[in-house]
Amino acid sequence: MLFRVDVAAAEPLADQIAAQVRGGILRGDLAPGERLPAARELADVLDVNLHTVLRAYAKLRDEELIELRRGRGAVIRADADAARLRLVELARQFVGEARRQGLADAEMLAIVREAQP
Amino acid sequence: MNRPRTLAAIVLTWLPAAVTAATWASWSDRLPGRMATHWSGTGPADGFSSSSGFGAAMLITGVVAGVAGIVAAGRAGQRFWLGLAGAVAGSTAGIWVCTATATLDNPADPRLGWRLLYFVAGLAWGAVVALAAGPSPAGVQPPPETVAPLDLAPTERAAWSTTLRAPALLASMAVAAIVVVVVAAVGQAPIWPVVVVPLAAALVFGRVRVTADRRGLRLTAGLLNLPFKTIPLAEITGVEATEIEPLEWGGWGYRVTPGRAALVLRRGPGLVVHQSNGRRFAVTLDDPRTPGALLSALLARSA
């Protein structure tokens, strides 16, 4: 599993790290039960703040992709669903693009409804 | 490969077994049923075995060493193992000749004395075999696959890690531990402490975390969280992704052979790291290119 973050990018570092883990699950690089690097170690080798990594891991826990347990570190959940994650990723891109175009929520929902065959 | 020299080395590896077979055949009618096979110092013999059983054991060891010699001779970078096969073959024939001649010379009170030199000469036979084989054939190995460095922007930071699991190693260590426990329980109590060896091996190598990042390459015992092999980035001169042939690296498991070390869990793709002290370290990985590319990029950045 390769983590790469760009300190010059506009996207916050925590979001970049979370996106790497999501990508890893999507590609199958990170299988259920796989352990993520310890937050302290990842922060050290990427030369970022420990709280940045902890924020990324907390985000992934809230998305029900990883489990955080004291002493056991961060582990990919057994029910981390790569297929659903793919949809979530697409939705994220769709919402991001729609926001850039200045669409309101109701307009976005209308587009999703129209997309149905 | 230099065929005449390799063939000569193979013949020399088999010679000790031939000596054992020939001398055994010519001495068998004069050897007693039980012969002295163990001495402590220069005194009288203190251990005896069946002559036919001992002769067979020495002959079989010589033949196995001969077969190992053929296997080693056919492969690149195996001169150390060919020499070792020669030393094993020679020393077992040496043991046979010195014990048998001691018994033949004085069946009532066999003494080893100067005959120990047969054994020493047998050990030295390994060097004769290695010299006969000459230098390891070069260019037989496929050229290493060079890893293109990862396109890392100056503002980018990257780290790679994976976890290796070795169920086969865990299972064999469990079997070894059970064997030791059973043998110890049925009366060989002094071997109890030996059970530590398979348990420690299982703890260290059962799950290994491999990381490649700005620190360099690092192998950590996953169950103990203990780094047992670290190669700092500053000591890495090059990396290659290649096919790991376990026999070329000394077998399966954590192997240390002259000039190199390796963690070999299976045959297949692996990462080879060249160190500034001339040593090489290999580890089997499903995807050696990603850590290879990352280390190349980090090396280029630090250069």
- Which chain A residue's Cα is nearest to B290? A2
**Do residue A2 and residue B155 have CB atoms under 8 angstroms apart?**
no
**Which of B147, B161, B164, B208 best probes binding to A when mutated, by most A CB atoms within 10 angstroms?**
B161
Domain count within chain B: 2
Residues B84 and B158 in one domain: no
Backbone dihedral angles phi then psi of residue B53, each to the nearest 5 degrees: -65, -45
Q: How far is B245 from chain A (nearest CA, A)?
A: 25
Judge whether B128 lies within some domain.
Answer: yes
B265 and B156 co-located in one domain: yes
Does B240 reside within a domain? yes
- The verdict on B80 and B154 lying in the same domain is no
Give the amino acid at A46. Answer: L
For residue B141, what pLDDT is reported?
46
Query: β-pairing, B260-264 with B207-213?
Result: unpaired
For chain B, residues with pLDDT lower than 70 are 1-2, 41-42, 76-77, 136-146
CB atoms within 10 A of CB B20: 26
Residue B174 lies in a domain: no
Residues B94 and B151 in one domain: no
Per-residue confidence (pLDDT) for residue B2, from 0 to 100: 62
Residue spans of the domains in chain A: they are 1-79, 81-117
The reply to whether A72 touches chain B by the CB within 8 Å rule is no
pLDDT tens for each residue of A1-48: 899 999 999 899 999 999 999 988 888 888 888 889 999 999 999 999
Residue of B nearest to A71 (CA): B225
**Pair B32, B151 in one domain:** no
What's the complex ipTM? 0.76
| CATH number of domain containing B223 | 2.30.29.30
Do the chains contact at A5 and B152, CB–CB below 8 Å? no
Q: Nearest-CA distance from B7 to chain A in Å?
A: 47
Assess if CATH 1.10.10.10 describes domain A1-79: yes
CB contact under 8 A, A6 and B213: no
Are residues B157 and A7, on separate chains, in Cβ contact within 8 Å? yes
Beta strands in chain A (DSSP E): 2-6, 66-69, 73-76
Same domain, B41 and B151: no
Q: Which amino acid is at B87?
A: A
Output the pLDDT for position B175.
Answer: 87
Tally of CB atoms within 10 A around B12: 23
Query: Does residue A18 sit at the B interface (CB-CB below 8 Å)?
Result: no
Question: Of B155, B213, B233, which to mutate for an interface test with A (greatest number of A Cβ within 10 Å)?
Answer: B213
Looking at the structure, do residues B77 and B161 belong to the same domain, yes or no? no
Distance between B210 CA and the closest CA of chain A, angstroms: 10
- A2 contacts in B (CB within 8 Å)? 158-160, 290, 294
Provide the token pair at A29.
Answer: 């690089």
> In this complex, do B159 and A45 lie within 8 Å of one another by their Cβ atoms?
yes
Q: Rounded CA gap, B6 and B17, in Å?
A: 18
- Residue-wise pLDDT for A98-117, tens only, equals 999 999 888 999 998 888 87
| Domain of residue B152, residue span | 145-166+206-302
Residue B254 has a pLDDT of 87
Q: How far apart are CA B248 and CA B81, in angstroms?
A: 9
Residue-wise pLDDT tens digits, B8-44: 888 899 999 999 989 988 888 888 888 888 877 667 8
- pLDDT for res B107: 81
Last residue of a domain, one of B112, B133, B154: B133
Residue A72 has pLDDT above 90, yes or no: no
Query: Would an 8 Å CB–CB cutoff place A3 in contact with chain B?
Result: yes
Three-class SS of chain B: CCHHHHHHHHHHHHHHHHHHHHHHHHHCCCCCCEEEEEECCCCCEEEEEEHHHHHHHHHHHHHHHHHHHHHHHCCCCCHHHHHHHHHHHHHHHHHHHHHHHHHHHCCCCCCCHHHHHHHHHHHHHHHHHHHHHCCCCCCCCCCCEECCCCCCCCCEEEEEEEEEECHHHHHHHHHHHHHHHHHHHCCCHHHHHHHHHHHHHHHHHCEEEEEEECCEEEEEECCCCEEEEEEEHHHEEEEEEEEECHHHHCCCEEEEECCEEEEECCCEEEEEEEECCCCEEEEECCCCHHHHHHHHHHHHHHC
Tell me, yes or no, whether B103 and B216 share the same domain. Answer: no
pLDDT of residue A46: 94
* Pick from B152, B140, B284, B110: nearest CA to B210: B284
Q: Are residues B157 and B241 in the same domain?
A: yes
Domain end among B133, B157, B178: B133
